[in-house]
A = this chain, B = another copy of it.
Amino acid sequence: MSSKQKATNVTRVEHRINQAERERRNGHCGGVLWFTGLSGAGKSTLAIETEDRLFREGYHVYVLDGDNLRHGLNSDLGFSPEDRAENIRRVGEVAAVLAQAGFVVISAFISPYIEDRQKARQAAEREGRSRFHEVHIHADLDVCETRDPKGLYRKARAGVIPDFTGISAPYEAPTSPELIVESGSNDIETCVNTLVSYVESHFRLS
């Protein structure tokens, strides 16, 4: 599907409450931390642990997780190349809405293609003052495959899952991400500390 607007005779309605007001009340700005990385790199774990820490520190924070959205918004999508791209496009748009509503959004999707991530960035930046931070959750393929928490690599090697990122489908690593988290060579706590520090310095209003 195209990202060009199909419907005409629609005009933007101005919200009375703008993003700046929401941010003043929250004490931090809204924006998207867009995690990208291989299956098994730790995206979901780090997203949930970071959400927990940030919530305790008073942030309005929300994790968008592929596994969850697949049950709702994206339940009509499968795993064809078109459906995968549309999946990520919609996630990017929902992340943008949540960021505009004032949240620190953490999205945890493999999102292997540069073009798809670029669209997510554009969606966030289209929505006024929102920030988009590409975060590469980086662990080497052999580390991820050894972990294999969901047994997906094994299935991919056996040919049961086709087009599996890193095995039978490409992963296009970010060329200039705002943050790299080395989740292959650091423990979870260290990685979460890195993420929380990053949010403290980039989202907290002074």
Name the distance in Å between A78's Cβ and chain B's nearest Cβ: 4
Bound CA span A83–B2, Å: 14
B5 pairs with A75, CB closer than 8 A:
yes
Bound-complex Cα distance A135 to B145 (A): 51
Q: Does the CB pair B72–A13 fall under 8 Å?
A: no
Say which residue of B2, B7, B69 sits within 8 Å of A79 (CB atoms). Answer: B7
A11 touches B67 (CB 8 A): yes
A74 proximity list for chain B (CB < 8 A): 7
Q: Which of A32-50 contact B (CB under 8 A)?
A: 44, 48-49
- Whether A93 sits at the interface, judged by CB under 8 Å, is yes
Chain A, interface SS category: loop
B97 near A73 (CB under 8 angstroms)?
yes
Q: Is the CB of A17 within 8 A of B101?
A: no
Asked if residues A48 and B16 are in contact (CB atoms below 8 Å), the reply is: yes
In Å, the complex CA distance between A123 and B69 comes to 11
| Count of A interface residues, CB-CB < 8 Å | 58
Q: Are B73 and A94 in contact (CB under 8 A)?
A: yes
- Given A2-B76, A17-B52, verify A10-B67 contact (CB < 8 Å): yes
20 additional contacts (CB under 8 A) given A4-B76, A90-B90: A6-B77, A6-B78, A7-B70, A7-B74, A7-B79, A9-B150, A9-B152, A10-B67, A10-B70, A10-B71, A15-B51, A16-B49, A60-B102, A64-B97, A71-B126, A72-B96, A72-B127, A73-B90, A98-B101, A101-B103
